[in-house]
Amino acid sequence: MPLVLGVDSSTQSTKVEVRDADTGAVVAEGRAPHPPTTPPRSEQDPRAWWEALGRALAAAGEHADLRAVAAVAVAAQQHGLVVLDAHGEVVRPAKLWNDTESAADAAWLIGRLGGPDAWAGACGTVPVAALTITKLSWLHRSEPDAWARLARVCLPHDWLTYRLTGEHVTDRGDASGTGWFSPAEGRYRLDLLAIVDAGADWEPRLPRVLAPEAVAGITHLTGGPALVAPGTGDNMAAALGVALAPGDVAVSIGTSGTVFAVSDRPTADATGAVAGFADATGRHLPLVCTLNATKVTDAVARLLGVDHARLDALALDAEPGARGLVLVPYLDGERVPDRPDATGTLTGIRADVTRADLARAAFEGVVCGLLDGLDALAAAGVPTGGRLVLLGGGARSGAYRQVLADCSARPVVVPAGAEHVAAGACVQAAAVLHGRPVAEVAAAWAPRAATVVEPRRCDASGLRARFRAVAHG
């Protein structure tokens, strides 16, 4: 029985899934942690990802013969900057998506091209500190010795694919999060990179962009040989893992929060709220990202001295609206809205405040910020009337499920399974192995079971208006 391996290299850990290449049935899983990071400087040594992959594979290998793996695909956290020298060695730790030290570079880049409209038209996305091009500008400005050694630029998934195959390649989905690739034109915009360094010869430093079903190379990591698929970014893989269709909207709640939808057309949002990404099938994946999601509820659980289960119970016991208590969750700066130096705000507190009020306000603050993102997608012309699908670690929380349903006044679909990014990577690997379109395999392997959470009666519009008044007023 041929198997496929899907890798999810996230901020916090590496997860792997091994699946039957024909049916998509899960055969084995494994996981290993990454070193912790703390914004504003959020960095990791890429070699820690490789070591974590080895440990995760060892765990999976206890339940499956990995020599039967015939194809592999890597999905990973977007935007991280990995710089290699002429020998393919890592020059410095990777600056991750949630590193905000390049906020000044984002503002500088926007001004150099002529404003947000120019950037949205050029690559579909207005630079913020998360985007890779701002981190590249930071490196050029701050570390001339490291810059002098730069021979190749990678994203996290590109680097892992490079370690597997020796090939410097990427896919259009992950490339679209750099700030120098145009999804609408399907090409690198070297003129944007020239703003960072006009004297650099950029083309040989960039990975080749592969088509969705192309073969990146061969690996023997699992005992092989095994084909290696192009890989992609984590959000693009999650869309594959749940077979997101045009009109559906995914809300992914993890360390960060994302709201994204599949679209047949590219977007160019000059407000900067919507990133005009590509997906892993040849279509587009407009996306809104917030920096603060489960870290907010983690912090409130720590303050209250409770575990996650108890925090969920407290929030579910509270009234929708938390009796007027509003928590604006910008604890470590924010990406949307673009406030890299922001901190959190708690308002509406009264003498009779309860632990349940605070717990509920924490969940509502995260969710209301994400629903602002849903509004931004709709304003950018993205169809959003299909399923509202909840993904990520937050999908395991009964409070996040119910609060999202309550605040959106829409049913929330929670697909079966937990590792949707790794599942999407398996989908891509199977598509490459069998020579089938990625979207076709995703539809065939879509989770058949799901939990649907219905909204409770509450003043959702009033609750969200109160949040917006505090967060944006």
Distances (CA, A) of 54 to 83, 182, 221, 345: 22, 34, 9, 41
Dihedral, 166, 168, 174, 175 alpha carbons, nearest 10: 180
Going edge to edge, which strands form the sheet with 450-453?
Answer: 275-278, 284-290, 257-261, 249-253, 388-391, 412-415, 450-453
First and final CA of the chain: distance in angstroms?
Answer: 59
Question: Pairing mode, if any, of strands 169-171 and 208-210?
Answer: parallel
Tell me if residue 234 is catalytic: yes
Q: How remote is the C-alpha of 168 from its chain's centroid?
A: 22
Residue with tokens 């630029």: 153
Catalytic residue among 8, 234, 248, 279: 234
Residues acting as catalytic residues: 234
